Amino acid sequence: MAEAKETQKEQAAEATSAQAQTEVKETVSTEEFLKNFNWHNYEEGIDQVEDEKLKEFENLVEENFVDTADEEVVEGTVVHLTDREAIIDINAKSEGVISLNEFRYNPNLSVGDKVEVLIDVREDKSGQLVLSHRKARTIKAWDRVNAAHDKGEIVNGFVKCRTKGGMIVDVFGIEAFLPGSQIDVKPIRDYDAYVGKTMEFKVVKINHEFKNVVVSHKALIEADIEEQKKEIIGQLEKGQVLEGTVKNITSYGVFIDLGGVDGLIHITDLSWSRINHPNEVVELDQKLNVVILDFDDNKSRIQLGLKQLQKHPWEALGEEVKVGDKVKGKVVVIADYGAFIEVAEGVEGLIHVSEMSWSTHLRSAQDFVNVGDEVEAVILTLDREERKMSLGIKQLTPDPWTDITSKYPVGSKHTGIVRNFTNFGVFVELEEGIDGLIYISDLSWTKKIKHPSEFVNVGDKLEVEVLELDVDGRKLSLGHKQTTENPWDKYESEFGEGTVHTAEISEIVDKGATIEFNDDIVAFVPSRHLEKEDGKKLKKGETAEFKVIEFNKEFKRVVASHTAIFKEEEEKNVKAAAKRSNQAEKTTLGDANAELQALKDKMEGKA
């Protein structure tokens, strides 16, 4: 560079000497002046340089100064630092300036450091060369990222912060995305624990259009894990006990990491006791021993067990426990047919709904117990081989049928509660465990009931009388109508056969009509008995006299006739006429006889 400056000085001196010589020769003639005039110096303003010297100068410039072309990254040296800027020498005609903001990632920047820069502006308004370190880093970073992706190289990155679905990682100055699923082979619960760390990554995807880079830390360890997985799978055997770590907990089971191989402990294989959720037994990252129960042909699905490492609770159940003993336990499950009671850890017994109450009408287990209740029960059956136990609650109280004959003798009257309907009757509860049936025919003396719901509602109190009692069959027959006097006894005399009543035709029915004598008695009038005296028939709404021609108290059947009213009158008139005719005949014959007798007597007297 010093040699170039000396050459420039020599050229300037020569130019000055040429100008002096021109001034000396001012007296030379015009023709000679024009002939010897240096037109090149005049036009260019400088003496002509020989080609060899010019070539030499160009070589010196090319060797000592860089070409300040755009979009080219060059290396510079920090020659000076101010509070806001760094002065960079890139060996150009002038030094460049870069804001210290572009070096925030490198707070230890000092004079003499080598940095990569990009020529941003060749000369600003003040003739200063403007450089950019950030742009140079970006260009170089993309070159490095592409090379790492193509070659599969491992790169270092700085985890800057969390973002939706993963983390932001600084790789060569480029912000790359690290998905949450690519952080580790196991699910990550605390993303913040990785912020601020420098980790190794593999570039797995580059989108050049949107300038997006995706990196993975998981990919680096998967290869090692795959080797471990093959080794572990090759050694798996049923019944083998391994140590694992709780990797994930779901509602149906727990996934265990066996060292690169995952296995599942189903919720039913976690504990001999019933549990609602696996987190009642295990927690995340917990280390525990498990036993291999089963696996598929490829050993990709491994079924594990935890409770199998412990002795079955039924085997630990004491021999002193026997049928008839009273036990206490907690209700763990309720079904429509009964409730399961845990009498010891892992030992359950079933209380069937029929063993919860002496009552015989249908009810569900929810009516008696709730999940979590502490109950006392009696052991009814016990099968240690099948590991089954049945319990009963009602056995804790005396059987109400024990003294049934003394409490509910035939003919006694009581008040019960309607509990249930059937098509043929009503079940009435006299007390807990004592139910009786009222047949539909024993509900009312007078009403014709098609279904019990027409007469009474569930929950109603009802007066009943004990009609029959079967102690062995535990059956009780009740009646409701028997608690009141039978009104048909009174109706038999009031509406017996031959009685005459005035009534209105209520309805015209098939083969006749109906009339109402009172609220209880609806009589049937056959069609031929609707005929009036004039030959016409009674119609709906007409009022007339009716004669009862049939009365059946047992079947509550009453048949009446209007025609019989005037037919009877006709029969009376016919009988009266016949009687009078007979009397007339008798009188005429008597007179004749008297006359004959008188004549006879007269004749005899004369004689």
**Domains of the chain by start residue, with CATH:** 73-138 (2.40.50.140), 152-223 (2.40.50.140), 236-305 (2.40.50.140), 313-396 (2.40.50.140), 403-479 (2.40.50.140), 487-568 (2.40.50.140)
pLDDT in the model for residue 390: 92
Q: Is 293 exposed, middle or buried (0-12, 13-18, 19+ CB in 10 A)?
A: middle
Q: Which of these, 112, 114, 143, 122, lies nearest to 67 by C-alpha position?
A: 122
pLDDT in the model for residue 538: 87
Q: Which of these, 320, 312, 379, 372, lies nearest to 347 by C-alpha position?
A: 312
Question: What distance in Å separates the CA atoms of residue 566 and residue 30, rounded to the nearest whole number?
Answer: 182
Give ∠ CA 454-456-457 in degrees, rounded to 5: 105
Question: Per DSSP, what are the bridge partners of residue 330?
Answer: 342, 374
pLDDT in the model for residue 83: 86
This prediction's pTM: 0.42
pLDDT in the model for residue 439: 92
pLDDT in the model for residue 5: 42
Question: What distance in Å separates the CA atoms of residue 133 and residue 566, rounded to the nearest whole number?
Answer: 134
252, 261 in Cβ contact below 8 A?
Answer: no
Which residue type sits at 141? A
Instruction: Look at the block and give the residue holding tokens 């400088």.
Output: 46
* Residue burial 128-164, b: 16+ Cβ < 10 Å; e: rest: ebebbbbbbbbbebbebbeebbeeeeebebebeeeee
Q: H or E segment at 3?
A: helix 2-24
Query: Measuring CA to CA, how many Å separate 19 from each of 33, 341, 591?
Result: 14, 124, 212
pLDDT in the model for residue 579: 61
Q: How many CB atoms lie within 10 A of CB 566?
A: 14
pLDDT in the model for residue 478: 92
Residues in the chain: 607
pLDDT in the model for residue 106: 76
Spell out, as residue ranges, where the chain has pLDDT lower than 70. 1-71, 93, 120-128, 223, 297-299, 360-362, 569-607
In a 13 Å sphere around the CA of 521, the CA atoms on its Cβ side amount to: 24
